[in-house]
Structure 1
């Protein structure tokens, strides 16, 4: 069995989650008390840090000159490495706004999970170099979503630009809808 772990650490003005369920129906719904147990970095300019990891592994079978993979795919949020500066978010409106922004990060990871499931399972791999092909695809998926996470933070100014946050909320919701539809299509 081949196993690759791609750590994704986001230095955010807010935090994300635990393990996403393998059924891909919905992303984890965040709350401050459950997911932000780590000790805050007081030197960080951010109000929180979210530590998320995407892991995948697979077993492969060759059948008639074709490689079929059985994929295990998950996202976890390390709640002991994720933290929040409680003294900076005492106002209930600020807390809610920050948590909403962080939910966007968790939702982006849900999209990554769904897309990785769809893309990695639905490829024709060469018997000779399927391991390299899978690794390359996984790296491309990871790079794409790392960039999306960075753009989300930069454009929303870590959730403080409410107009851009609203635009990103729509982008994320549309991508989640697309991912759900694509997953349902591949399951037929």
Structure 2
């Protein structure tokens, strides 16, 4: 009976662990798991990875200083993400496309890490901290939206392998920088 209660406690706690903020690695995409949405037949593209970044915070004013407790998460929207696997003729082409889509997820992972670092490590004014946080969050979001667009344009949605390799290095370097910055706190 004691073992059963331990197992039940573990099963109840396990789903909560997935919302921890110490993200070690970005989620790894899988065609069968993450792409459940209906493909947009009008789109010239073979896949779309839909993601959302959400943040919220609690605040405490202490000695004329605002401290925030940040909750910061990214999700892959499986119902809005889609792929046209019937248009992809070879396994190699499928792997290249999935690799390109993974780049989008990795960019969102960098956004997550940077938002965590930037939003937590600021001194906010007691009078207008909510506006300051919203402004910073919008700047971060705009920066990474532009990065996502540049990634697609420069790699030609993954079809330009030379540029894809260049972007793979950029994204990997940014992930390493963000991890290093996070670990140095």
How far apart are the structure 1 equivalents of 2:147 and 2:64? Answer: 36
User: In structure 2, what is the equivalent of residue 152 of structure 1?
Assistant: 151
Whether contact under 8 Å (1:40, 1:84) holds in the other structure is: yes
Whether contact under 8 Å (1:20, 1:28) holds in the other structure is: no
Report the secondary structure of 2:67's partner residue.
strand
- Structure 1: where are the runs of 5+ without partners? 1-18
Q: TM-score w.r.t. structure 1 length?
A: 0.87
Cα offsets for 1:148-168 (capped at 9, x unmatched): 000000000000000000000
Q: Between Structure 1 and Structure 2, which shows a larger proportion of strand residues?
A: 1
After TM superposition, which residue ranges in structure 1, 4 or more long, deviate above 3 angstroms? none
Count of aligned residue pairs for this structure pair:
168
Cα 1:20–1:68 change in 2 (3 A) is: same
Q: TM-score w.r.t. structure 2 length?
A: 0.89
Q: Between Structure 1 and Structure 2, which shows a larger proportion of helix residues?
A: 2
Cα 1:34–1:143 change in 2 (3 A) is: same
TM-superposed deviation, 1:47? 0.7
- Structure 2: where are the runs of 5+ without partners? 1-17
| Bigger relative contact order (CA 8 A; separation at least 6) | 1
- Over aligned residue pairs, what C-alpha RMSD do you find? 1.1
How far apart are the structure 2 equivalents of 1:168 and 1:81? Answer: 25
TM-superposed deviation, 1:22? 2.0
Cα 1:110–1:21 change in 2 (3 A) is: farther
